[in-house]
Amino acid sequence: MIAFVRHGQTELNRGRRLQGRVDVPLSAFGEQQAAALARAFASRPVARVVSSPLQRATATAAAIAAPHALPVETDARLVELDYGDWDGRALAEVPAADWAAWRDDPDYAPPGGERLADVTARVARFCADERDDDLVIAVSHVSPIKAAVCLALGVGDRATWQMFLDVASVTRVGRRPGGNLFLAGFNDVSHLAGIEG
């Protein structure tokens, strides 16, 4: 089972900006969320903790790994979609026509950025490599996690636009004996009860 964890909040998240490859730390509230995630997984038999190389993800992963005395492995396949020229921009600053073109076509790439189809391809390779029954925590970002959900459900990339994924949420993807992925849980934030930011 892969538990895909979206990293905790950052100031760019809070400001409704596209983060992409901008490497920013967790906010103080994001650190609280990471601690809540660590408590949620503390009693689970976690085999490995894998993370995107961006610091908002590695900090979240380190909090989860600490109670298990596990190292955090980094895997570039879990990194956020590269928004290119849109990195760091407020959603409202993206031209409406460009945003519509992106939502309509998984092969569209933001200027200087990455196609959603490319994100799905690298997440598919990551999932294919995780073949055991142990619990693997994969700390990532909104686009790769939504891609994993699309793979598990057998739907196209455009379905990502029909999903909402909270920061510090947990989405679980498993593999059936025949090899097919399945969705075991989506956007679980029950561990964040009582935390206010």
Write down the residue that tokens 């569209």 correspond to: 108
pLDDT digits over 113-135, tens only?
999 999 999 999 999 998 777 99
- Active-site pick, 7, 114, 130, 141: 7
pLDDT at 14 over 90: no
Domain 2-191, what architecture? Answer: 3-Layer(aba) Sandwich (3.40)
Residue 134 has which token pair?
């142990």
- Active-site pick, 11, 80, 93, 141: 80
3-class secondary-structure state, position 72:
strand
Sequence ranges of the domains in the chain: 2-191
As a whole-number percent, the residues of the chain with pLDDT over 90 amount to 74
Between 152 and 90, the more confident residue is: 152
80 is catalytic: yes
pLDDT at 92: 84
pLDDT digits over 132-155, tens only?
779 999 999 999 999 999 999 999
pLDDT at 191 over 90: yes
pTM above 0.75, yes or no: yes
Q: How many Cβ atoms from other residues are within 10 Å of residue 126's Cβ?
A: 22
7 is catalytic: yes
Type of residue at 186: F
